[in-house]
Structure 1
């Protein structure tokens, strides 16, 4: 049974270990982050549980799962810690509130953040962008919880307690781009034969993963074609990819809104051609993820709102 009322024997170091387990997803990862043994983490959780009547964790297939009570408690602890930190950082709080660190692929910087140039956001906020190239998903999550990163923009939401997500864009229409001098540039739409006999350039966000958009292309009727696209170039730079397409015989499958941006705004000398009608391309969604009690929450909400508004205008 848990103790009633205030407990003078409560060890406040347990809060740090408890928060690490919630953030990491299991005790083993939390132990690794904290530099202690898993046994020490388990002991700390048992000591913390002794102070509460309600169960804080239940055992699942992949380890300990926090209960609703644990998640609520974690939020309460985080709020108290933020208040304490505020007493130490009050002098610099105004300056820090005007900064935000964003992590994402090259598309985030080249396509999304670059379109904020007409808005006074850069006069009000220092935006630090760092590439998520070759950074594992778990590392990005850890950086959010440790305040090394305020905002992650990616194709998948982060489903973790304490993380908020918002859909900021959705790509539903796609085109093929090619150089204006390409033999296919005069066409309105490609055939399956033309699509599969051409060499393609692909955007690849991570060296350890296969190109994402390649997995999104499906053929409605497999009797038409059983082959795969021939890849001539892969890049984690969207500008680099479009530049290569502009100067070579390669073609690339790209969201329509993005293709129009590089053609009309960035003035790349490219042509847009519809993909074969037999192809069905799954939509790509872009999500923003952040810690719900981030110290820069007002700046995060402003940036996410602006990006969502921009994407709405480009439908």
Structure 2
């Protein structure tokens, strides 16, 4: 047998009336709860009854008594409402703890984000970091544009009219690191011979990206001598580089602030030695980039400003 509602469009507002009547116990109290007249409640119940063949209410001395069918509908409605409330609660938590997806190299996670562990940033934001390894500029810009990424931390600013950039750090001073057992650790400064005869560990964030410190930038253009480092090890992990240095005879060039971080905070057994005075280093800048139209622009800017403030304390 077909339902009485086969050719009718169900009005889901009637379920609110059902819930109010069952919860309040009678039409009068339900009317007050919904801020309508008792007559409106009676009309709504009549319309609701039109969708079901089984009786929904019977009259008792204390008011309307819901039948088993009405209670079944009510229970299903309450379950559905709990599910809806759950989604609203999730949205509320998401609004209070916005998700910010950050893309960058391993340095971003190990060096910048690790400095925030004692801050309440992880209570106010849900931060996610993904490696930009082997992604080109166009791919990264596309991810920003479609919202798959909220913030990019990179040595290069993204030149695009839809993207905002902010300089958050600049590595201007550099140092050589070696193991505390390395014979070079006894020196305060390396000579060119020391520097170019040693084998180097080289940091490279991806196979398609340049090394962090390029050999072409180590000498003035008119310098008569231009040496090239003997590359004994390459890695896209800065922690891996420092670990290798700690246990081998390799040396590496690092920004002074990074070297201090791994030696003093991460407690690696490394020694910092000044590079040869003939070498001239170009500053390595670090930029934050984000979509100008991002709905999370305020939160992103707060996080970027925090990175910039933290970096200003590391000299």
TM-score, shorter chain, exceeding 0.5: yes
For structure 2, the 5+ residue unaligned runs are 1-87
TM-score by length of 2: 0.69
The 1:94/1:291 distance shift into structure 2, 3 A limit, reads farther
Deviation at residue 212 of structure 1 after TM alignment:
3.4
Q: Is residue 95 of structure 1 aligned with residue 94 of structure 2?
A: yes
| Cα distance in 1 for residues equivalent to 2:297 and 2:212 | 31
The 1:137/1:93 distance shift into structure 2, 3 A limit, reads farther
Query: How many corresponding residue pairs?
Result: 226
The 1:227/1:255 distance shift into structure 2, 3 A limit, reads same
| Cα distance in 2 for residues equivalent to 1:258 and 1:226 | 26
Secondary structure of the 2:218 match is: strand
Which residue number corresponds to residue 183 of structure 1?
183
| Residues 10-35 of structure 1, C-alpha deviations (whole Å, 9 max, x = no match) | xxxxxxxxxxxxxxxxxxxxxxxxxx
Contact 1:172 1:283 (8 Å CA) reproduced: yes
RMSD across aligned positions (CA): 1.7
Deviation at residue 146 of structure 1 after TM alignment:
0.1
| Cα distance in 1 for residues equivalent to 2:90 and 2:194 | 63
| Residues 225-265 of structure 1, C-alpha deviations (whole Å, 9 max, x = no match) | 33311000110001011000100000000000110000000
Contact 1:103 1:131 (8 Å CA) reproduced: yes
Which residue number corresponds to residue 255 of structure 2?
255
Deviation at residue 299 of structure 1 after TM alignment:
1.4
| Residues 199-248 of structure 1, C-alpha deviations (whole Å, 9 max, x = no match) | 0011101112342312463224633x333110001100010110001000
The 1:167/1:186 distance shift into structure 2, 3 A limit, reads same
Secondary structure of the 1:280 match is: coil
Contact 1:103 1:130 (8 Å CA) reproduced: yes
TM-score by length of 1: 0.69
Q: Which has the larger radius of gyration?
A: 2
Which residue number corresponds to residue 42 of structure 1?
none
Which residue number corresponds to residue 84 of structure 1?
none
| Cα distance in 2 for residues equivalent to 1:182 and 1:188 | 13
Secondary structure of the 1:281 match is: coil
